[in-house]
Every structure is written in C-alpha cells, then in structure tokens.
Amino acid sequence: SSLSIFRKIVYFIIGFFPTYLINFPDDLSFLDTYDLILANSKYTKRWIKKLWKKDSFLFYPQVDIDSFKEKEAKKENIILSVGRFFRLSVL
C-alpha cells in the first residue's frame, strides 16, 4: 500500500473511536446557520433530535422505492450522512 506506516496506525486508532464523536462535535453552533434540517426517515429524525437536539422535517424519497426492494431483504437501521470530504491536518 502507498500509505505510510504512520497513517496506517492513525487510521487504525481512529477506527476505534465511536463514529458520533467524529461526526457530531461538541460545538454544534454550525447548526444555527442551517435554515432547515431534513430527515429521510423517522429513525434519522429521532437521532437528529437525540444527538443535535434539533427538530427536523421528514422528507421521504420521491421515487417508488417499493420497486427496488427485495421480497426477503433484511431491514437495517442506518444513518446516511451527506457532507463534504476534508483532509485532517494530522494526516
């Protein structure tokens, strides 16, 4: 691999941090700049309220998602975070 040993160690260590500590910082003042927070499910809406202590609006997908479902597909609760990628200065 082209990654240095230092970067491999940092990536390994970061992998053990709970995801919410990385994605949900203590300083939530950035949320005050948002006009609206949308959630694509009741599950995500509950997590936004729990982690960010903010209300959000449900905005269900505007496509026929039933045509994409498998008859025996296992349901999973996931959170999809859409944002931008950035480079950490320690790497």
Give me the residues paired with residue 39 across strands.
Answer: 58
- Summarize pLDDT for 33-91 with one digit per residue, the tens: 888 888 888 888 888 898 888 899 998 877 776 776 676 767 788 877 777 655 555 54
Answer yes or no: are the C-beta atoms of 60 and 42 closer than 8 Å. Answer: no
The pTM of the whole model exceeds 0.75? no
Q: In this predicted structure, what is the pLDDT of residue 91? A: 47
Largest CA distance in the chain: 47
Task: Find the mean pLDDT for residues 20-29.
Answer: 62
Q: Please compute Rg for the chain using Cα positions.
A: 17
